Amino acid sequence: MTVLDWNDRPVVIGEVGQAHDGSLGTAHAFIDAIAAAGADAVKFQTHIAAAESRTDEPWRVKFSYCDDTRYEYWKRMEFTPQAWDGLRQHAQDRGLAFLSSPFSLEAVELLRHVGVAAWKVASGEVANPQLLDAVAQTGQPVLLSSGMSGWFELDAAVARLRAGGAGPLAVLQCTSAYPVAPQRVGLNVLGEIQQRYGCVAGLSDHSGTIFPALATIVLGGRVIEVHVTLSREMFGPDVAASVTTSELRTLVEGVRYLSAALVAPVDKDQVATELAPMRALFGRSLVARRALPAGHVLAASDLTAKKPAGGIPAVRLESLVGSRLRRALHADELIHESALDTTEHAQDST
């Protein structure tokens, strides 16, 4: 089973969540679309209604036209173990790491048998010690979302996961709003996560844009998770907080580009040396602004800088003021040292 590894390069996770609306075929279509966009992983959510909810669980947003209760909705979102195994196999066949957030101990057990590349602890499960213990005991990597938690709760969850034997840990900044406003994305939190826990930081983004994810890479984040929709016209409560598959492709390209730029620091002096031929082409040299007679004492107004380089560079203009010409110059003639009387300046002559 593939293990999610963010050490080689930042990873981009396409979050399907419940966007499949209970359709196994649509779930498989998401795998193909996310793979085609170049992402590293696909993530689902594994809900087992009877194990995670009472029948009177309230709606966050009443959006369903066919489910009278939230419990009925979760029930409709369930897939069989065989279906989950098929999704995992399809993801692997397409080169994607397979992830799914468990929302009960039963879901952990189901996914443990199916096989996941890492465990994603959803924002609402950070304060669920039994679930934290269950995923930690597998020794696999854990992605901990922080969408509804303050530092005290996150401190406790991180300590518990580590004490329980969890593998490499990544804590993801997240704000549980759908979509989240730019003022609440919380990019400032990334650095504090790294400093506070000494672990990888990332972003679980609900902005519906690619911009916070790209900024996260520049700020040192190594894990990007974004909700994905096949179309803005799809049905579901998360569409407004999702990126389209074409936007996901652009996001992946941006992450790869920025990652390559960040790991290759530039030596400005070395670059200047390497670009010397170009400097000669685009650089400027001093020329006579107009025809000047021999013996003329140069003033700044007599000179101008034009391309290409090859004569006295433009940066030396001030040093030439006061010099006397050995010979006459035509307008636009390139000035060389041989045309100048360097033994004295006009102000020194008698």
For range 105-133, the mean pLDDT: 97
Q: What pLDDT score was predicted for residue 54?
A: 87
pLDDT in tens, 183-205: 999 999 999 999 999 999 999 99
Is residue 57 very low, low, confident or very high in pLDDT (cuts 50, 70, 90)? confident
Identify the top-confidence range among 73-82, 208-217, 307-316. Answer: 208-217
pLDDT in tens, 246-282: 999 999 999 999 999 999 889 999 988 898 888 888 8
Query: Cβ-count burial of 259 within 10 angstroms (0-12 exposed, 13-18 middle, 19+ buried)?
Result: middle
Give SS3 for 11.
Answer: strand
Q: What pLDDT score was predicted for residue 346?
A: 52
Is residue 1 very low, low, confident or very high in pLDDT (cuts 50, 70, 90)? low
Q: What pLDDT score was predicted for residue 345?
A: 57
**Residue-wise DSSP of 226-283:** EEEES-TT--STTGGG-EEHHHHHHHHHHHHHHHHHHTS---HHHHHHHTHHHHHHH-
Q: What is the pTM of this model?
A: 0.85
Instruction: Tell me, rounded to whole angstroms, the distance of Cα 37 from its chain centroid.
Output: 15
User: Domains of the chain: which residue ranges?
Assistant: 11-262, 270-348
- Check whether 344 has a pLDDT greater than 90: no
131 CB contacts (<8 Å, ≥6 apart)?
Answer: 102, 104, 105, 108, 121, 125
The share of the chain scoring above pLDDT 70, in percent, equals: 96
- Check whether 157 has a pLDDT greater than 60: yes
- Rounded to whole angstroms, the Cα distance separating 161 from 174 reads 19
Q: CATH assignment of 11-262, given 2.102.10.10, 3.40.190.10, 3.30.230.10, 3.20.20.70?
A: 3.20.20.70
Q: What pLDDT score was predicted for residue 195?
A: 97
Q: What pLDDT score was predicted for residue 292?
A: 96
- Check whether 298 has a pLDDT greater than 90: yes
270-348 is a CATH 3.10.110.10 domain: no
Q: What pLDDT score was predicted for residue 99?
A: 98
pLDDT in tens, 2-15: 678 999 899 999 99
- Are both 11-262 and 270-348 of the same fold? no
